[in-house]
Amino acid sequence: MPAKELTRPCMDCKDAEAVLTTRKRSLCSHCFKLFIAHKTFRRMDHHKAPPKKQKDYVPSKLLLPLSLGVSSSVLLHILDGQLQRQIANIHGRVAYQLHVLVIEPSTISPGNLSYDSNFEELQRKFPTHAFTRLPFHSVFEYVPEMKDLINEYAGTQFADDSSRSDKDRLAAFRACVATATSKDDLDNVLLTRLVVAFAKQAGCETILWGDSDTRLAAKTLAGAAKGRGASLTWQVSDGMSPWGVQFEFPLRDINKPELHQFASVCSELANIVVPDQPISENTLTKNLSIDELMMRYVETQGAKYPGVIANVSRTANKLQPAGSDDCAECALCGSLVSNVKGNTGITVSSQFGESQGSRFCYGCSRSRPEVRS
Ligand SMILES: [Zn+2]
Ligand SMILES: [Zn+2]
């Protein structure tokens, strides 16, 4: 049979037209998706169903926090494909079950519209999994000590009013934080606490974060700049978090442009993914948070030197947690409070004196509403 007439054959299957190029290889959409999925499955290898039938086998529950952005949506799509194949095989045993948590984006960033239709589409396209949608202010419900904690943390800059709704109380706290960097930093801390508390309540032993290697590199650099080097062992590396829930980053071998490519050839995600809000060219650099700046930097440099950026997150993944025998954990973010040995190479102490500083780590102290840096 004569070979197909192809102008640019896929370098893997040689049987279809190549539609995109990645890592110097031109691939058809099918082979490209396989390539990305394999990189993800390699990171999920240790979640296995038992080879033989076991009467009392209960698959573990994994939580996937979904921001409706491109990365976590692609992760859901890839893992859903893996689970559907396991369901369809002869024994139908799945390696794990997914619980998807969406923290309503409109409650995080006021510019975001409500994403009701994206959420409905999500449940329609991936009906096998459990879904929960929560507003950001439910952090007060899931982490009951958080109200007292932010009062203590914010000090005199923040006057809490217990007669107001949780939504208003969270808004008031966020409004008293001075800089874009501190706002982003504290939002990330609160979101992590909410996701972890939900995971524990839902019986999930592991949280699968959808960070690409680009995002992990940006988090590494921003974390070091913000004095949060010690928490990189669980914010960027696969391992145990301070709350007894495992953190994993299955997309750590895939960069952000590749995830965009994946979404572009994946019609199922078309009405689910909310595009990143581009940072306006008119936004002054000094008004951007360190996290935004680092993401922008890593995206630009990653396009030129992808190997260098991959190396940043790969190196961070090898960090080992410092021993915590003689150190208390930060009441807010879970990092060690002071004198962290090993990872950062620096000794830090709070600038708020012993009485106030002891409960919060250096990174959190720097983001305090009273501090204008
Ligand atoms: Zn192909
Ligand atoms: Zn802290």
86 and 177 belong to one structural domain: yes
The verdict on residue 206 lying in a domain is yes
Q: How far is the CA of 234 from the centre of ligand 2 (A)?
A: 13
**Å from CA of 16 to ligand 1 middle:** 6
- What would the two tokens of residue 235 be? 């914010």
Q: Domain check: are 241 and 317 in the same one?
A: yes
Can you give 291-334 as a three-state secondary structure string? HHHHHHHHHHHHHHCHHHHHHHHHHHCCCCCCCCCCCCECCCCC
Name the closest ligand to CA 328: 2
Nearest Cα to 46, choosing from 31, 62, 32?
62
State the pLDDT at residue 283: 73
What amino acid is encoded at 52 in this protein?
Answer: K
Ligand nearest to the CA of 190: 2
Indicate if 125 and 23 belong to the same structural domain: no
Ligand nearest the Cα of residue 30 is: 1
66 and 31 belong to one structural domain: no
Q: Are residues 147 and 217 in the same domain?
A: yes
7 Cα: distance to centroid of ligand 1 (angstroms): 13
Q: Does a structural domain hold residue 365?
A: no
Ligand nearest to the CA of 12: 1
Residue 247 inside a domain? The answer is yes
Task: Give the closest ligand to the alpha carbon of residue 340.
Answer: 2
> Ligand 2 centroid vs 105 CA: distance in angstroms?
24
Amino acid at 191: L
Predicted pLDDT of residue 191? 97
* Closest listed ligand to the CA of 193: 2
Q: Are residues 141 and 230 in the same domain?
A: yes
Number of domains in the chain: 2
- Compute, in angstroms, the gap from residue 219 CA to the centroid of ligand 1: 34
Q: Are both 23 and 64 inside the same structural domain? A: no
The verdict on residue 337 lying in a domain is no
Nearest to 288 by CA among 180, 175, 372: 180
User: How far does residue 30's CA lie from ligand 1's centre (Å)?
Assistant: 6
Q: Are residues 10 and 119 in the same domain?
A: no
349 φ/ψ angles, rounded to the nearest 5 degrees: -140, 155
Residue 24 lies in a domain: yes
On whether both 131 and 107 belong to a single domain, the answer is: yes
The CATH number of the domain holding residue 244 is: 3.40.50
Q: What's the gap in Å between 309 CA and the centre of ligand 1?
A: 28
Domain residues for the domain of 6 are: 1-45
Cα(202)–Cα(59) distance, rounded to whole angstroms? 14
Q: Is residue 207 in a domain? A: yes
17 alpha carbon – ligand 1 mean position (Å): 7
Is residue 47 within 8 A of residue 82, CB to CB? The reply is no
Q: Which ligand is nearest to the CA of 15?
A: 1
How many A from CA of 269 to the centre of ligand 1? Answer: 21
Residues 6+ positions from 344 with CB-CB distance below 8 Å: 224, 229, 230
- On whether both 118 and 193 belong to a single domain, the answer is yes
Size (the chain), residues? 373
Does residue 257 form part of some domain?
A: no
Per-residue pLDDT of the chain (373 residues; tens, 9 = 90+): 556 788 999 999 999 999 999 999 999 999 999 999 999 999 999 998 887 778 888 999 999 999 999 999 999 999 999 999 999 987 788 999 999 999 998 899 877 677 899 999 999 999 999 999 999 999 999 999 999 999 889 888 788 888 999 999 999 999 988 888 999 999 999 999 999 999 999 999 999 999 999 999 999 999 988 888 888 888 999 999 999 999 999 999 999 999 999 999 999 999 999 887 776 666 777 778 899 899 988 988 888 888 888 888 888 888 877 665 567 889 999 988 865 444 443 434 444 444 444 688 989 988 888 655 4
CB 21 within 8 A of CB 28: no
Do 256 and 294 meet the contact criterion of CB atoms below 8 Å apart? Answer: no
17 and 91 both lie in a single domain:
no
Q: What pLDDT was estimated at residue 324?
A: 55
Predicted confidence at residue 154, as pLDDT, reads 87
Does residue 134 lie in a domain region?
yes
pLDDT number for residue 159: 82
Do 311 and 227 share a structural domain?
yes
Contacts of 206 (CB under 8 A, 6+ apart): 47, 60, 62, 63, 245, 246, 247, 248
In angstroms, the Cα distances linking 162 to 20, 96, 146, 290 are: 55, 41, 13, 32
pLDDT at res. 19: 96
